[in-house]
Amino acid sequence: MKIKHYIITGALVLSSLTNYAQNNTVNTTVKIAGNCGMCKKTIENAGAAAQAKVEWNEDNQTATIAYDGKKTSLDAVLKSIAGAGYDNEKYLAAEDNYAKLHACCQYERNLAPPASDSPQDKSIEPVASVDYISNASNFQKIYDQYFLLKDALVAADSKQATGLANDLADAIAKIQTADLTKAEQEVWKTKTTSLKATVKSLQQATDISKQREAFALLSEDIYSLSKNSKPSSSVYYQKCPMFNKGKGATWLSRHKEIKNPYYGAQMLTCGSTIQTL
């Protein structure tokens, strides 16, 4: 009878301890930037180091975090993740920690946590506010020609790419500053010279490799335009970690499916989506 009594008492104690632990468990979801499976492992390990269970989703750039509120805090978990090199909605990684990440893990840095909650690295360009972005882009013809050019490079069609570069140059030349919104005017002022120079390089390129090099520069300028003047439909900002001797290069696409314009059929699906515009 005593043995039975001890077993019952032990079970009740264990049940009480389990319920106590469950009552202290906090579950939340936060934005954490990253690129790939390697990022996922690092982010989740950094969370574990702060006594939390973290499950990071590459597709939507969010993580579910579960932790015991008596043992740690969300602040501690997010600081640990930032310390591993990953920006989140409350803390930005230090520049040197970000720089230590593998080339394929160096995501586009667009998260900007509230200044009141944590210091923000001033070298990170803030995302334009929604109210400041045009709803009907005056740059749409530029975007349309850019996407056609991207498709030609995916197909490794150098001749077609040259013709589309000419069409893109025409679309750029037809932009009238007076027709632009305030946001569009500001970004146009900073990007028009480099846009024209890069498109000229595309027009003059004698082979597909030179066209792809110029396209990498063009894509950065197009990305800057699109942040301040939305394309007519959703656009995916994507990155190939291998191009440019491992330094990586980005591009924009109307489709989430990866079709790499820098390698075409050679490495068609190499890359990842790092932002949806």
**Residues facing residue 31 across a β-bridge:** 62
- pLDDT > 90: percent of the chain: 56
Res. 134 pLDDT band, cuts 50 70 90 = very low
Query: How many domains are there within the chain?
Result: 2
Residue 221 to residue 139: CA distance in whole angstroms? 12
Predicted TM-score (pTM) of this structure: 0.54
Count Cα neighbours of 75 within 13 Å in the Cβ-side half-sphere: 2
User: Which DSSP letter does residue 236 get?
Assistant: E
Question: Which one of 110, 125, 140 terminates a domain?
Answer: 125
> Residue 251: inside a domain, yes or no?
yes
Q: In terms of domains, do 157 and 38 share one?
A: no
Q: Can you give the residue range of the structural domain that contains 171? A: 131-276
Q: For residues 82 and 109, is the Cβ–Cβ distance under 8 A?
A: no
pLDDT in tens, 175-211: 999 989 898 999 999 999 999 999 999 999 999 999 9
Phi, psi of 63 (to 5 degrees): -135, 140
Question: Which one of 70, 94, 125 terminates a domain?
Answer: 125
In terms of Cα–Cα distance, which of 121, 106, 109, 57 is closest to 240?
106
pLDDT in tens, 220-242: 999 999 998 988 888 999 999 99
Collapsing DSSP to helix, strand or coil, 218 comes out as helix
So what's the pLDDT on residue 54? Answer: 94
Question: Which one of 125, 158, 187 terminates a domain?
Answer: 125
In terms of Cα–Cα distance, which of 90, 109, 89, 93 is closest to 35?
109
Q: Dmax of the chain from CA atoms?
A: 94
25-39, 66-80, 113-127, 190-204: which is most confident: 190-204
In terms of Cα–Cα distance, which of 221, 184, 181 is closest to 199?
221
34-38, 105-109, 182-186: which is most confident: 182-186
Residue 141 to residue 175: CA distance in whole angstroms? 9
